[in-house]
């Protein structure tokens, strides 16, 4: 047994070395940075600039609409998989979207630096809105690129970890560091600098590799999928078109609701504008039901009909033309990604969705209440919270990501996913201790000498050390869990439909977050933070149990298919 373990260890370390030395990994770090920087600048730092410019709070509420671009980015993800941009397809299937979005974002930030947010607020807000949509589009394409280019050298596990490292670094640069720079050189100069960084990133990313054979491909792959719909054994066109009509109506309704909300928010008087938080809380889940849940049920029915041999073409149908050809392309963009996923996963999809909905639930909900807990409940100062969460905390999460990436290559994806889930759940108990006075965390900090270290710096105190060590342990666990979760999520989607399938799965976190925040807020008001942290611990441990079942399911599926379980460090890419 010892020899087997040593062999696996060597294999994992060799895989890690090959991945880190691969050029795809370097570009993945740059892509992650380029993905996180606009998010930090549009949804965080921008409000600090507007506050200093003395823009009214009611007017600033319009800028909260920017978050909708990220929350509902899956609504236009089919375009990223299906549409080729004129004259840019030769860049590659994903880079044709990534590079223009990066250059557009850089240009937007540079232009915003030339505007006065008080006197030119209309143009300022328009540019910020366009930038948010460009940033969300870039995210869709970058996630798909990561999945498409993964191979036995640059594994999906390591690429996912490196992506998150770049993302976290950019949140530090665009957030805390951006505030520091702005205090010294001014906001326009800061945004000019950030825009220049993205312009340079866009130029460098032109040299990023594509998936194998992607540079030589055209839209022929999509056309081949469309032509295959007319082959014997495929669902009859009449049945497919009915399913497409239902899915199309659901998606069109959801997009219409979002557009109506945005138009009302931008054109109505401040007192008549709809509340963005209420919209996300009350309407957001129904949008996901309409665009994900119900279409998934329709796709499941189609997949079951194909398995049963019902409503199938007995022989090849003539090639489609005109309206029929357009409908086949729409089916391929909207419905086929779900049919492929549901058909491949079957009833296992229920377990997969359960893991998706619960594994990161603590992170999705807790972020809203972190500052009220730190500042209101525990009475820390703004400077203390900023240092503990933004600087020390980001360092801890990057360390956790590095540790998670190492574990992925050495022990494998599912063990790391389970370990990360358990650790992330248990760190809620550390916050429960803080809510109860922090005696245990204070004792631990003193025992290991961390308190003395913090007190040796100006402004350091035993109280600050307690907060820092708690945030540090939590972010370390979140880093491990995040590395494993993104790698697992990336591994279960098909490379044929990576943009749509990944965007749809990752958006389900929104459903849990929006539904859970209201209930959690009421619980905090009635019972306090301590009971909430105990509850979230149990939820996290429940997610760990689901991971165990998913691990068992994957092992059985591979055994039934005669597949040898991959060594740590292999891609394990589905599809």
Could you please report the per-residue DSSP string of 152-173?
SSS-HHHHHHHHHHHHHHHHHH
Question: Which of 1-10, 147-156, 270-279, 517-526 holds the top average pLDDT?
Answer: 147-156
CA angle centred on 249, ends 258 and 351, rounded to 5°: 85
- CA atoms of 424 and 30, how far apart (whole Å): 27
What's residue 485's pLDDT? Answer: 93
CA angle centred on 404, ends 170 and 549, rounded to 5°: 125
- CA atoms of 311 and 317, how far apart (whole Å): 14
- CA atoms of 412 and 571, how far apart (whole Å): 10
What is the C-alpha end-to-end distance of the chain, expressed in Å?
A: 33
Look at residue 84 and give its three-state secondary structure. coil
State percent of the chain over pLDDT 70: 85
Which carries the bigger pLDDT value, residue 11 or residue 101? 101
In whole numbers, what is the pLDDT of the chain averaged over residues? 82
CA distance to 86, 225, 564, per residue, from 218 (Å) = 12, 13, 34
519: confidence class by pLDDT, cuts 50, 70, 90: low
- CA atoms of 160 and 480, how far apart (whole Å): 12
Bridge partners of 312, per DSSP, are 235
CA angle centred on 469, ends 466 and 470, rounded to 5°: 85
Environment class of residue 314 by beta-carbon count within 10 Å: exposed (0-12), middle (13-18) or buried (19+)?
Answer: exposed
20: confidence class by pLDDT, cuts 50, 70, 90: low
Q: What is the pLDDT of residues 57-70, one digit of tens each?
A: 556 656 666 777 77
- 568 has a pLDDT exceeding 50: no
Q: What is the pLDDT of residues 287-302, one digit of tens each?
A: 888 888 898 889 889 8
Ranges 225-234, 329-338, 536-545: which has the least confidence: 225-234
- CA atoms of 71 and 85, how far apart (whole Å): 24
- 31 has a pLDDT exceeding 90: yes
- 21 has a pLDDT exceeding 70: no
Q: Give Dmax (Cα) for the chain.
A: 80
Ranges 336-345, 369-378, 555-564: which has the least confidence: 555-564
- CA atoms of 256 and 502, how far apart (whole Å): 23
State the alpha helices, DSSP H only, in 436-575.
439-447, 450-455, 462-491, 498-527, 529-560
What's residue 266's pLDDT? Answer: 66
| Phi, psi of 275, rounded to the nearest 5 degrees | -80, 120
47: confidence class by pLDDT, cuts 50, 70, 90: confident
- Phi/psi region, residue 54 (left: phi>0; alpha: psi -120 to 50; beta: rest), is left
Which carries the bigger pLDDT value, residue 262 or residue 99? 99
Which carries the bigger pLDDT value, residue 55 or residue 330? 330
What's residue 56's pLDDT? Answer: 67
What's residue 484's pLDDT? Answer: 93
What's residue 443's pLDDT? Answer: 92
548: confidence class by pLDDT, cuts 50, 70, 90: very high
562: confidence class by pLDDT, cuts 50, 70, 90: low
What's residue 510's pLDDT? Answer: 64
- CA atoms of 60 and 556, how far apart (whole Å): 53
Ranges 198-212, 376-390, 470-484, 533-547: which has the least confidence: 376-390
What's residue 368's pLDDT? Answer: 64
548-562 average pLDDT score:
83
- CA atoms of 387 and 402, how far apart (whole Å): 21
What's residue 145's pLDDT? Answer: 92
172-186 average pLDDT score:
85
- 197 has a pLDDT exceeding 90: yes
Quick one: angle between helices 348-358 and 498-527, nearest 10? Answer: 50
3-state secondary structure labels for all residues of 30-46? HHHHHHHHHHHHHHHHH
Place of tokens 């245990």: 440
What is the model's pTM? 0.82
Which carries the bigger pLDDT value, residue 143 or residue 311? 143
Residue 244's H or E segment, with its range, is helix 237-267
108: confidence class by pLDDT, cuts 50, 70, 90: very high
Contact 495, 343 (CB under 8 A): no
What's residue 328's pLDDT? Answer: 82
Q: What is the pLDDT of residues 110-151, one digit of tens each?
A: 999 998 888 887 788 888 888 888 999 999 999 999 998 888
What's residue 567's pLDDT? Answer: 43
Environment class of residue 486 by beta-carbon count within 10 Å: exposed (0-12), middle (13-18) or buried (19+)?
Answer: buried
Q: What is the pLDDT of residues 228-243, one digit of tens each?
A: 888 888 888 889 899 9
Q: What is the helix, strand, coil percentage profile of the chain, to 5?
A: 80, 0, 20
Ranges 227-236, 243-252, 359-368, 455-464: which has the least confidence: 359-368
565: confidence class by pLDDT, cuts 50, 70, 90: very low
The full set of domains in the chain, from first to last, is 15-213 (1.20.1250.20), 217-334 (no CATH), 351-560 (1.20.1250.20)
């Amino acid at each position: 047994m010892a020899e087997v373990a040593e062999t696996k260890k060597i294999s994992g370390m060799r895989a890690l070395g090959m991945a880190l030395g691969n050029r795809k990994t370097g570009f993945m770090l740059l892509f992650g940075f380029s993905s996180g920087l606009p998010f930090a600048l549009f949804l965080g730092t921008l409000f600090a600039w507007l506050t200093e410019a003395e823009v009214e709070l009611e007017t600033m509420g319009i800028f909260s609409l920017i978050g909708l671009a990220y929350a509902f980015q899956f609504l236009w993800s089919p375009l990223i998989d299906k549409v080729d941009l004129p004259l840019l397809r030769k860049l590659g299937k994903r880079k044709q979207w990534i590079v223009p979005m990066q250059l557009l974002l850089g240009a937007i930030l540079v232009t915003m630096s030339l505007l006065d947010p008080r006197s030119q607020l209309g143009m300022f807000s328009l540019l910020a809105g366009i930038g948010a949509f460009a940033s969300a589009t870039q995210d869709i394409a970058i996630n798909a690129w990561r999945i498409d280019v993964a191979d036995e050298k640059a594994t999906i596990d390591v690429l996912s970890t490196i992506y998150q490292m770049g993302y976290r670094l950019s949140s530090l640069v665009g957030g805390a560091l951006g505030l520091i720079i702005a205090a010294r050189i001014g906001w326009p100069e800061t945004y000019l600098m950030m825009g220049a960084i993205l312009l340079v990133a866009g130029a460098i990313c032109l040299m990023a590799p594509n998936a194998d054979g992607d540079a030589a491909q055209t839209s022929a792959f999509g056309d081949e999928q469309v032509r295959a719909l007319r082959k014997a054994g495929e669902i009859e066109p009449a049945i497919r078109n009915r399913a497409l009509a239902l899915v199309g109506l659901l998606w069109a309704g959801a997009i219409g609701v979002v557009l109506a909300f945005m138009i009302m928010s931008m054109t109505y008087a401040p007192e008549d504008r709809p509340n963005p938080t209420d919209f996300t809380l009350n309407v957001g889940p129904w949008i996901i039901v309409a665009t994900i849940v119900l279409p998934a049920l329709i796709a499941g029915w189609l997949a079951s009909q194909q398995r049963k041999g019902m409503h199938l073409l007995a022989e090849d149908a003539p090639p489609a033309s005109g309206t029929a050809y357009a409908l086949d392309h729409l089916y391929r963009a909207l419905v086929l990604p779900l049919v492929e996923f549901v058909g491949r996963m079957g009833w296992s999809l229920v377990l997969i969705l359960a893991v998706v909905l619960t594994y990161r639930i603590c992170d999705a909900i807790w972020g809203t209440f972190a500052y009220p807990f730190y500042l209101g409940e525990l009475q820390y100062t703004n400077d203390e919270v900023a240092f503990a969460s933004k600087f020390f905390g980001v360092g801890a999460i990057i360390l956790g990501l590095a540790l998670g990436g190492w574990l992925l290559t050495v022990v494998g994806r599912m063990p790391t996913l389970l370990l990360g889930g358990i650790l992330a759940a248990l760190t809620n108990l550390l916050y429960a201790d803080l809510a109860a006075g922090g005696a245990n965390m204070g004792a631990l900090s003193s025992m290991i000498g961390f308190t003395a270290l913090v007190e040796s710096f100006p402004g350091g105190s035993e109280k600050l050390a307690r907060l820092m060590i708690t945030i540090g342990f939590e972010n370390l666990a979140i880093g491990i869990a995040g590395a494993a979760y993104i790698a697992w999520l990336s591994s279960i989607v098909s490379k044929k439909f990576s943009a749509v399938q990944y965007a749809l799965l990752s958006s389900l976190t929104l459903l849990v977050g929006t539904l859970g925040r209201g209930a959690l807020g009421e619980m905090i008001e009635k019972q306090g933070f301590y009971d909430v942290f105990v509850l979230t611990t149990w939820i996290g441990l429940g997610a760990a149990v689901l991971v165990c079942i998913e691990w068992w399911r994957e092992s059985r599926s591979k055994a039934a298919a005669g597949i040898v379980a991959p060594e740590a460090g292999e891609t394990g890419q589905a599809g």
